[in-house]
Chain A
Amino acid sequence: MSSSDTLDVVLRLLALFGVFLVFPLLVGQMEHKVMAHMQGRLGPMYAGGFHGWAQLVADGVKFAQKEDIVPAEADRRVFQLAPAVALLPYLLVLVAIPIGPGKAVGWYIDAGIFFVLAVMGVGVLGSLMAGWASANKFSLLGGLRTAAQLMAYELPMLLAAASVAMAAGTVSLPGILDAFHWWWVPWQIVGGLVFFTAGLAELQRPPFDMPVADSEIIFGAYTEYTGLRFAMFLLSEYAGIVVLCGLTSVLFLGGWHGPLGADGLGWVWMLLKTAVLAFVVIWLRVTYPRLREDQLQKLAWTVLIPLALAQIALTGVVKVAIS
């Protein structure tokens, strides 16, 4: 490995780390402001001077100053390890998401879809560890709900992603984008909706946030957390939004493909699609009330999985017909 290669790798990792630190904050700030305006409010207005742009920085400073408390009865080591387990997978996933044509990807992975979905599933382990190790019944309930939710949503997500992989004839994310045509969007739209919905459920975003339902079980698995560890859980949620939106745009919306300027400005299209999807995530959160636990399971098993299977059938039929 020559020195320029090493430099290339270092630069890529640094850029990724920057994206990992900045984009979730951008999404968080967007959530503050969009949610506020959708509710007829202004949202944060003071931190940083201009329309509260530094609110999340201020929040971070506040979290850093808080005491790091571990409950006396808790399983200390697991309790302290859980936030890292929740956060790191999303950092790893970012590596595999291509933002432009050619080499504009952190690391070319052959089985990209499997990598991404596998590692995202690992992130849920953090919530489970937190839920069990807190020695708190609400945390335990939150952990149980997290696990049940993951069980229900991993399958439709995988099936929807498999449909795209079938269409493209590859499981690598850049490969899927290379094979993309505009008419894939209407072709795979059902799979895209299933994937996005299941992803929301996996991230525990409203309306699928019953694992942290504050009116029922306080804050689920995160009830006992304070300070930086709590901030890491929050950050992992927003990093999860970035990852989910990026993945959805890569798999179903053509990533860096756009009506014009796909070569030079591909990354602009990618960022634009991701941002619009992140807006939709927030929009859904503001609009819909939380589902009940049984409603969520019913939705997953009786609606999303059949839809995903139908999408796979459709993909197969069309694939055979055009080849």
Chain B
Amino acid sequence: MNIPGSGLAKGLAVTLRTLTRRTQTVQYPDAQPELAPRTRGVIGLFEENCTVCMLCARECPDWCIYIDSHKETVPPAAPGGRERSRNVLDRFAIDFALCMYCGICIEVCPFDALFWSPEFEYAETDILDLTHERDRLREWMWTVPEPPALDPAAEEPKEIAAARKTAEKMAAAQAARETNEANEANEANEANEANEANEANEANEANEANEAKGDGA
């Protein structure tokens, strides 16, 4: 079945069918785009988690993260203890004119201080304004969405698996302890019951004896 020209007709049918379908165009300024989950729009900083370990700045391929800090000494927690030094963040800035949105900084951060936010409307007329300082990066933090739910058949996340294992272990330990205790308790109960019975008997006997005494009096 190869009629000459059928390919040409097929082409015409494809374009005509597309004509009748909805267009793909998103009229962006009028309508917001539907962004994919984990969209890489801008990087937010949760500075409470930052320990100024500098991993992000060092791993950044185009060196667009600027971090300044100083050390402070903290008096010993307990009297007689050693003084501790602590890093204090002075400046944390990301130059989005340089950033190539690779996300390595977010990957390497061991303390979950950096997050992707889907916000993308931060174009500026001056390139210097594309360097977002600490406070601006913190504002982006509030636009970070919840992580999307995992696929139904997805592997369990490592940290949850680890937590669950620990919890199960603890639960098992607890359960084991409880059974032990229960056994012990049973034995104790039996002993108690025996005691109580004895005591009751004794008491009865005593009462009876008393009554007898009273009758006798």
Contact = CB atoms under 8 A, between A and B. Distances in A.
Partners in one complex: yes
B11 interface: yes
Nearest to A40: B24
Contacts of B18: 37-40
Which interface residue of B14, B15, B16 has the most chain A CB atoms within 10 A?
A: B15
Interface in B1-45: 8, 11-12, 14-16, 18-19, 21, 23-25, 27
A36 B25 CA distance: 10
B24 A41 contact: yes
A109 interface: no
A40 B21 contact: yes
A108 B205 CA distance: 144
Nearest to A37: B19
From DSSP, what is the main secondary structure of chain B's interface residues?
helix
Contacts of B8: 288
Contacts of A34: 19
B11 A287 contact: yes
A287 B25 contact: no
Interface string B99-113: 000000000000000
A283 interface: yes
A39 B14 CA distance: 10
Interface in B71-106: none
A37 to B, nearest CB: 5
A90 B19 CA distance: 30
Nearest to A39: B18
B23 A283 contact: no
A38 B15 contact: yes
Contacts of B21: 40
Contacts of B19: 34, 37-38
Contact of B12 (A37, A41, A45, A287): A287
A45 B27 CA distance: 9
Interface residues of B, number: 13
From DSSP, what is the main secondary structure of chain A's interface residues?
helix
A286 interface: yes
Nearest to A286: B15
Which interface residue of B19, B23, B27 has the most chain A CB atoms within 10 A?
A: B19
A283 B27 contact: no
Nearest to B10: A287
A42 interface: yes
A257 B49 CA distance: 81
Contact of B16 (A36, A38, A45, A288): A38
A122 B198 CA distance: 132
B15 A283 contact: yes
Interface string A267-298: 00000000000000001101110000000000
A288 B19 CA distance: 15
A42 B14 contact: no
A37 B23 contact: yes
Interface string A14-57: 00000000000000000000101111111001000000000000
Nearest to A288: B11
B25 A42 contact: yes
Nearest to B8: A288
Interface in A50-80: none
A36 B18 CA distance: 10
A287 B15 contact: yes
B23 A40 contact: yes
A194 B31 CA distance: 47
B23 A42 contact: yes
B2 to A, nearest CB: 18
A41 B23 contact: yes
B16 A42 contact: no
A280 to B, nearest CB: 9
A37 B25 CA distance: 10
Contact of B25 (A41, A283, A284, A288): A41
A218 B135 CA distance: 50
A45 B8 CA distance: 31
Which interface residue of B14, B21, B23, B24 has the most chain A CB atoms within 10 A?
A: B23
A36 B24 CA distance: 10
Interface in B150-190: none
28 contacts: A34-B19, A36-B23, A37-B23, A38-B15, A38-B16, A38-B18, A38-B19, A40-B18, A40-B21, A40-B23, A40-B24, A40-B25, A41-B23, A41-B24, A41-B25, A42-B23, A42-B27, A45-B27, A283-B15, A283-B16, A284-B12, A286-B15, A287-B11, A287-B12, A287-B14, A287-B15, A288-B8, A288-B11
Given A36-B23, A42-B25, 18 more contacts: A34-B19, A37-B18, A37-B19, A38-B18, A40-B18, A40-B23, A40-B24, A40-B25, A41-B24, A42-B23, A45-B27, A283-B12, A283-B15, A283-B16, A284-B12, A287-B11, A287-B14, A288-B8
- Sort A-B residue pairs by CB-CB distance and give the 6 closest, nearest first: A42-B25, A38-B15, A40-B24, A287-B11, A287-B15, A38-B19
